[in-house]
């Protein structure tokens, strides 16, 4: 498996449609190092090549204008040596996607004092490659197109899919390609414009475009131009990532990210919505409702479904991947279209409901979600703790699911301090914090909306007991002092203890603001996170530089994740650590400058003293929902 790199690419998106190309606007997904390029609808690539040329003139790219979201523009010079040294013939190519397709508009302009003949050609190749194949660096199959009176049409998977191209060009078919030709005459110092539109319909897609009005970024005082640009770019992407259930197209949630995770992910969509709560409640409302609708109601090992459990992800087809570590295939993963293999989405759902209600979510909406709340709380009590040790843990029982089921879900992410990988049952530190906050939030809601003081007191007692167990089992020390370990791992010994996974990791930062730490313990966590072994100058590393497995370009063992640092910032603010939160927000904003203010999923953990811009992680999704919504957290910390 050779996953395509994404760093040097342009992406425009309006879920469920997205288009990827090289930075010059040309897309050729049949070239090995450019496999990701093309036009997508839901989980399928429908066009693998999209290129503009001029049979009459040499065409050269000179600029790209990409500001996030659904639009990008590419500028070219068409060589005219007969008109002198200065560029005298320009092409502006505007790519625009929406939830139902893609358009390209081409405008030619000339400085010539005489009329000028120009030929323009666009070549597209229909495709039918599943997203999972492209992520593995593979190409599926080409598709035969058919000419119509107004253009071209083709299916890409079955009779439920239709692509319809309309244009003012002359259309022909050349082998597997659709060829659009224009023969134009530009008047002296004049312009000419042409275009095409490709409409895409997938009647079997689980989600559709969101029809709600576009979200606007929060206002600022206008004194921080970098922050304003980050917010503008991020909200363009946030709007591009919104999708909805077909039955409620006006109630949107955020797809996790582009290109690979362009669908509903429980954890990702919840954290993204949570980031927005102080500014907007519509995404929280849509996310809570769609996840409640899909909440588990039975026990099934293959899908990891359990009653009350919030799902991990939704796909159109089963996901089949061979996962490798250092070149060796270690795990054959096979996930059903509805997959529930996540230990943290359920407490995060409860946390989001509690926080959204406190921020003003409509009472009727809250009441409609109370059955899902009670089912989710019951999951914490009855299913989350599989071995009875008093902590939420996970273990893949199917043999073909995710080996790690927290947010750091790569196979090598859970490490002891010497770099050894944990295996088997894992109780993550941050999940205990989420569960503590969820129990307290659930208790508050039950007392307020059902006047159930007894149930509320039971959940408060449950949370208090969890905090005491956590204090007894999860803390250790090293040369820098005491800190919460990353996880407990494996089977219990005779006294009910498990080995501590003592890697120093960013996970401890998620404990802040959950109430599971005392004031002194929170201070210890903040001090450890701000130590140079953890803080890179661009954010918080996923793993300490002292870890035996640390590598700055490891997915979860040394990189910096935008949302991870933003989550920590948010939790610091909740616990009153405003100075440290502001410092980390400043670091993330500095990182954003290095990524043209379109924050990636993750980037390298090298120190800011060593590199600028931050080292890209080549396969990082960009945009990613929880990275884009982190802009709101950054703005709050800098206010």
Q: Which residues lie closer than 8 Å to 426 by C-beta, 6 or more apart?
A: 393, 394, 395, 404, 405, 406, 414, 487, 488, 489, 501
Cα–Cα distance between 142 and 442 in angstroms, integer?
Answer: 52
pLDDT on residue 326: 54
Residue 541 belongs to what H/E stretch?
Answer: none
Determine if the peptide bond prior to 623 is cis (ω within 30°): yes
Hunting for tokens 């066009």 — which residue is that? 47
Instruction: Say which CATH architecture domain 9-202 belongs to.
Output: Distorted Sandwich (2.70)
Give the tokens for residue 351: 């946390």
Beta-bridged to residue 163, according to DSSP, are 154, 200
- Domain ranges for the chain, please list them: 9-202, 230-638
Question: Is the CB of residue 264 less than 8 Å from the CB of residue 312?
Answer: no
Hunting for tokens 């399928």 — which residue is that? 44
Q: What strands lie across the sheet with 500-501, from one edge to the other?
A: 426-428, 487-489, 500-501
- Measured between its terminal Cα atoms, the distance across the chain in Å is 45
Q: Which residues of the chain have pLDDT under 50?
A: none
| 9-202 and 230-638 in the same fold | no
pLDDT on residue 141: 80
pLDDT on residue 610: 96
Cα–Cα distance between 70 and 74 in angstroms, integer?
Answer: 14
Give the tokens for residue 315: 């796909």
Which one, of 36, 247, 268, lies nearest residue 131 by Cα?
36
pLDDT tens digits, 146-202? 999 889 999 999 899 999 999 999 999 999 999 999 999 999 999 999 999 999 999
Give the tokens for residue 342: 């996540």
Beta-bridged to residue 192, according to DSSP, are 108
Q: Which residues lie closer than 8 Å to 137 by C-beta, 6 or more apart?
A: 1, 2, 3, 4, 32, 35
Residue 626 belongs to what H/E stretch?
Answer: helix 625-628
Question: Is the CB of residue 47 less than 8 Å from the CB of residue 28?
Answer: no
pLDDT on residue 1: 55
Give the tokens for residue 349: 């759902």
Hunting for tokens 């970098």 — which residue is that? 226
Q: In the CATH hierarchy, which top-level class contains the domain 230-638?
A: mainly alpha
């Amino acid at each position: 498996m050779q996953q395509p790199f994404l760093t040097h690419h342009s992406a425009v998106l309006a879920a469920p449609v997205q288009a990827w190309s090289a930075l010059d606007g040309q897309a050729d997904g049949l070239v090995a190092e450019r496999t990701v390029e093309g036009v997508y609808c839901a989980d399928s690539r429908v066009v693998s090549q999209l290129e503009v040329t001029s049979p009459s003139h040499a065409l050269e790219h000179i600029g790209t204008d990409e500001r996030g979201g659904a639009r990008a523009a590419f500028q070219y010079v068409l060589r005219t040596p007969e008109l002198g040294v200065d560029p005298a013939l320009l092409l502006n190519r505007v790519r625009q996607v929406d939830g139902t397709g893609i358009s390209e508009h081409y405008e030619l302009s000339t400085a010539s004092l005489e009329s000028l003949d120009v030929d323009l050609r666009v070549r597209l190749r229909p495709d039918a490659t599943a997203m999972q194949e492209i992520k593995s660096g593979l190409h599926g199959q080409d598709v035969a197109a058919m000419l119509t009176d107004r253009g071209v049409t083709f299916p890409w998977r079955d009779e439920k899919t239709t692509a319809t191209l309309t244009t003012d060009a002359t259309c022909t078919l050349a082998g597997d390609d659709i060829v659009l030709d224009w023969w134009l005459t530009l008047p002296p110092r004049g312009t000419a414009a042409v275009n095409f539109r490709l409409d895409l319909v997938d009647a079997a897609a689980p989600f559709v475009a969101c029809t709600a009005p576009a979200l606007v970024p929060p206002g600022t005082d206008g004194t921080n131009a970098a922050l304003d640009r980050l917010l503008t770019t991020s909200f363009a992407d946030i709007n591009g990532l919104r999708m909805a259930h077909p039955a409620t197209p006006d109630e949107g949630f955020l797809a996790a990210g582009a290109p690979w995770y362009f669908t509903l992910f429980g954890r990702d969509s919840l954290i993204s919505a949570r980031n927005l709560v102080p500014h907007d409640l519509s995404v929280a409302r849509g996310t809570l409702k769609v996840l409640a609708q899909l909440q588990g109601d039975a026990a099934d090992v293959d899908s990891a479904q359990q009653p009350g459990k919030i799902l991990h992800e939704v796909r159109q087809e089963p996901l089949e991947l061979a996962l490798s570590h250092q070149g060796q295939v270690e795990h054959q993963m096979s996930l059903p279209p509805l997959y529930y293999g996540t230990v943290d989405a359920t407490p995060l759902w409860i946390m989001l409901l509690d926080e959204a209600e406190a921020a003003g979510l409509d009472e009727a909406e809250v009441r409609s979600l109370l059955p899902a709340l009670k089912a989710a709380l019951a999951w914490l009590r009855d299913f989350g703790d599989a071995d009875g040790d008093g902590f939420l843990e996970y273990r893949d029982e199917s043999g073909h699911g995710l080996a790690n089921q927290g947010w750091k879900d790569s196979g090598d992410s859970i490490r002891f301090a010497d770099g050894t990988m944990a295996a088997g049952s894992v109780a993550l530190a941050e999940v205990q914090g989420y569960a503590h906050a969820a129990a307290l939030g659930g208790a508050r809601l039950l007392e307020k909306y059902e006047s159930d003081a007894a149930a509320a007191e039971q959940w408060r007692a449950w949370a208090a007991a969890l905090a005491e167990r956590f204090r007894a089992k999860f803390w250790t020390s090293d040369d820098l002092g005491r800190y919460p370990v990353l996880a407990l791992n494996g089977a219990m010994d005779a006294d009910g203890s498990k080995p501590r996974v003592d890697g120093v990791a960013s996970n401890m930062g998620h404990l802040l603001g959950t109430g599971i730490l005392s004031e002194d313990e929170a201070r210890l966590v903040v001090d450890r996170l701000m130590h140079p072994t953890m803080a890179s100058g661009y954010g918080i590393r996923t793993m300490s530089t002292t870890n035996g497995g640390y590598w700055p370009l490891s997915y979860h063992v040394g990189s910096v994740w935008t949302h991870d640092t933003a989550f920590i910032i948010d939790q610091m603010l909740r616990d009153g650590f405003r100075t440290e939160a502001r410092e980390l927000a400043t670091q993330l904003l500095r990182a954003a400058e290095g990524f043209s203010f379109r924050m990636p999923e993750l980037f390298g953990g090298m120190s800011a003293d060593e590199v600028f811009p931050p080292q890209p992680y080549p396969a990082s999704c960009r945009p990613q929902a929880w990275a884009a919504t982190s802009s709101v957290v950054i703005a709050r910390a800098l206010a």
